[in-house]
């Protein structure tokens, strides 16, 4: 026996449309939920694939200064009485980049 005929037999035809609407809305909710679950699985799968593909690669911007330039900057700061701002301007970098580079251990 179908749900709609059961409802019509026990509750009358005037309540049938309300019950059918409830059943249809629940079906739509289930469809949307399963669709959302499927989309979430796809997103997770693609994220994991992207992360495994990116392993071992260097991300971010390339270094602004070479190792030779860093040695020159360290030598200039130790020996010459030139302010850090002026040294940074000579190498075309910001003063904060200069200090950050100096604080890194020598490679």
Is the pTM value of this prediction over 0.85? no
CA 69 – CA 101 distance, rounded (Å): 10
- pLDDT-based confidence at 3, cuts 50/70/90? low
What pLDDT sits at residue 9? 59
CA 17 – CA 11 distance, rounded (Å): 11
pLDDT(11) > 70: no
- pLDDT-based confidence at 94, cuts 50/70/90? very high
Q: Where are the domains of the chain?
A: 3-54, 67-103
CA 97 – CA 72 distance, rounded (Å): 15
- pLDDT-based confidence at 60, cuts 50/70/90? confident
Q: pLDDT tens across 25-50, in order?
A: 777 778 888 889 999 999 999 999 98
């Amino acid at each position: 026996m179908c749900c709609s005929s059961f409802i019509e037999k026990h509750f009358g035809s005037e309540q049938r449309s309300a019950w059918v609407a409830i059943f249809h809305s629940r079906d739509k909710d289930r469809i949307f939920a399963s669709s959302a679950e499927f989309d979430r699985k796809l997103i997770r799968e693609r994220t994991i694939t992207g992360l495994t593909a990116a392993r071992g690669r260097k991300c971010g911007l390339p270094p602004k200064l070479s190792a030779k330039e860093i040695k020159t900057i360290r030598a200039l700061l130790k020996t010459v009485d030139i302010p850090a701002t002026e040294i940074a301007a000579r190498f075309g970098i910001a003063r904060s980049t200069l200090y950050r580079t100096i604080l890194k251990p020598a490679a």
